[in-house]
Amino acid sequence: MNDRQYEMSLELKELQHCQGLMETNITHNLLAISQDICKHQQANDEAWNQFSSTIEHERALITQRAILETLKYERMSQRKSNIIEAHIGTFEWIFDPLRVGFMHWLREGGDIYWINGNAGSGKSTLMKYLMGHDVVKNALVDWAGTKPLFTGNYYFWSTGNEMEISLLYIIILIRRVFEPQD
């Protein structure tokens, strides 16, 4: 081999070495780009999933509101607003554990707590009082624990209009449970 061939052989080896380094560098860069694409795709997928979840939640709320609107009637809150407010101290006895077990029942749950009495004796006034009392609300929150608490009210009235006397309109109570609390 002459000097020229030897030089060319060295240059060829140098070129082959450079080509190998370039291939390694290109492979490394392509791998980094591929990883970046995967990260961006994952972020896009997460954003899309969150967006889709939000849309589904909003659709459910729209459907729920539409259902609640169909259960609404013109004089829905009239009976409650016609019930007089209790005089201060009138119903404090309900919280006395020695007289009645209402607070124990409220915190522990169980069967139905039955309140009965003659017409005009104040059953609705008592219920309205209880529904607005912080002691009752706090006891119910304690009872619910980590679960969401939903409350509702509906006041039947034997001398009222058709909506107020019919058990068929208990569905109004369902509406009260699902609508936002005042």
Higher pLDDT, 10 or 74: 10
pLDDT tens digits along 23-69: 999 999 888 888 888 888 988 889 999 999 999 999 999 988 887 77
Residues sharing a CB contact under 8 Å with residue 87, sequence separation 6 or more, in sequence order: none
- Per-residue confidence (pLDDT) for residue 161, from 0 to 100: 67
User: What distance in Å separates the CA atoms of residue 165 and residue 172, rounded to the nearest whole number?
Assistant: 12
Evaluated on CA atoms 171, 174, 179, 180, the torsion sign reads positive
Is the per-residue pLDDT at 173 higher than 70? Answer: no
DSSP 89: T
Alpha carbons 163 and 34: distance in angstroms, whole number: 66
Q: What pLDDT, on a 0 to 100 scale, did the predictor assign at position 57?
A: 94
Q: What is the pTM of this model?
A: 0.56
Residue 102 contacts residue 137 (beta carbons within 8 Å)? no
Convert the pLDDT of each residue in 113-138 to its tens digit. 888 888 888 888 999 999 989 999 99
For tokens 């169909």, what's the residue?
70
